[in-house]
Amino acid sequence: MIHIVFNQSEVELMKKVMELDDTLQGDVVQIKDDFAVGPILELDTAEGWNARVEWWRMISAGSPYPSDLAGSFDDRKTVAELKERLEADPEAVIWIWMGQNQHDVCGYYWLIPQLKEFQGRIMVLYLNNLPFINEKGQLFYPSWLHEIQPKEFLKAKKLARPVTLSEFEIDPDEWNRLAQESAPVRILEGGKKLAGKEVSFYDAEILKNCTGEWQKASRVLSNTLNRMKIKTGDIFIMWRLKELIRSGKIAAEGDIDKDWKSFDVKAGSAKEPAITDDAPDAA
């Protein structure tokens, strides 16, 4: 049994789940890219894939991650290795675990066309619109797998079902539609339905967390990530913050092209003072 997840935190989570249930023993493999943002056109070609890698390199400038983050992994190799294992062992099966969020669903859409020849051996567990019990004993509807307690997965495993032949035919069409649409951001509208959005989709969330007082850019980043309802990654949000500075919508002090802690930001442009609720009324 091979478990596929789409977030680093879920690798350790699945290991904890396996400790509770021997029937789930197997390897955990992560698809690492976030296909919910950035170019996805013709990723099955070298040109399309390289365009995506270069985009990641561009927006990752100044991040605390390795300088060659975009080239540090290749999900295509991960899939090739998975297929080799399935071919070598006719008894091997894959379980794809998804939460109700665009990151996981986009990863699924990218992955599934590549596994069509193994139909019947590919299982999916899409935990959408399902109630679980949190640490306080309350019912809630998780969007991400890491929000679920390990013991709750013992019930969730009953939802595993084979990816149908129809899904292997239809789901690649949905991925191709998104690729041709070429929207830079994709969000989940419900079920497995994704919608493309403009590159500025998250800008309003960033602006809400900028005040009339100077703050470290890293603090605005953290507040935005914690408060936003539709989640995306820190690299994308920091890139958009810098773009808002370059367009004059946010003021900045320091070197925005250095690291994330090297500059401060506040609401308003550098040329005009920010208007705050504390400003005196006009006479």
Whether the pLDDT of residue 271 is over 60: the answer is no
More confident call, 71 vs 269: 269
pLDDT tens digit sequence for 203-242: 999 999 999 999 999 999 999 999 999 999 999 999 999 9
Looking at the chain, the whole-number percentage of residues with pLDDT higher than 90 is: 81
Same domain, 137 and 215: no
pLDDT score at 273: 41
Residue at a domain's end among 144, 178, 212: 178
Do residue 32 and residue 142 come from a single domain? yes
pLDDT at 234: 96
- For residues 40-63, give the mean pLDDT: 94
Q: Residues 6 or more apart from 26 whose CB is under 8 A from it?
A: 1, 2, 3, 18, 95
The fraction of the chain above a pLDDT of 70, given in percent, is 93
- Pair (108, 6) in one structural domain: yes
Q: Using 50, 70 and 90 to split pLDDT, how confident is the model at 279?
A: very low
In a domain, 276, yes or no: no
C-beta separation of 229 from 242 below 8 A: no
Tell me: do 120 and 233 sit in the same domain.
no
C-alpha–C-alpha distance, residues 60 and 234, integer Å: 10
Does residue 113 form part of some domain?
A: yes
Q: What is the total count of domains within the chain?
A: 2
In terms of domains, do 138 and 207 share one? no
Q: Is residue 18 part of a domain?
A: yes
pLDDT at residue 73, as a whole number: 82
Residue 52 lies in a domain: yes
**Residue 182: is it exposed, middle or buried by C-beta count within 10 angstroms (0-12/13-18/19+)?**
exposed
In a domain, 43, yes or no: yes
Task: State whether 207 and 119 are in the same domain.
Answer: no
Residue 104's domain is classified under what CATH number?
Answer: 3.40.1360.10
pLDDT band at residue 65, thresholds of 50, 70 and 90?
A: confident
Query: Is residue 45 included in any domain, yes or no?
Result: yes
pLDDT digits (tens, 9 = 90+) for 79-137: 999 999 999 999 999 999 999 999 999 999 999 999 999 999 999 999 998 899 988 88
Kindly state whether residue 23 falls inside one of the protein's structural domains.
Answer: yes
* pLDDT tens, position by position, 26-35: 999 999 999 9
Sheet holding 250-254, edge to edge: 215-216, 263-267, 250-254
| pLDDT, tens only, 149-185 | 999 998 889 899 999 999 999 999 999 999 999 899 9
Q: Decide if 60 is inside a domain.
A: yes
- Same domain? 95 vs 164: yes
Helix 165-181 crosses helix 102-111 at what angle (to 10 degrees)?
A: 110
Mean pLDDT score, 22-27: 94
112, 217: one domain: no
One domain for residues 88 and 207? no
Residues 85 and 134 in one domain: yes
β-pair partners for 208:
none
Residue 274, pLDDT > 70, answer: no
Q: How far apart are CA 21 and CA 106, in angstroms?
A: 29
Q: Using CA atoms, how far apart are residues 106 and 104, in angstroms rounded to an integer? A: 6
Strand segments, DSSP code E, in the chain are: 2-5, 27-30, 94-99, 122-127, 132-133, 139-140, 161-162, 185-190, 193-197, 215-216, 250-254, 263-267
Parent domain of 170:
2-178
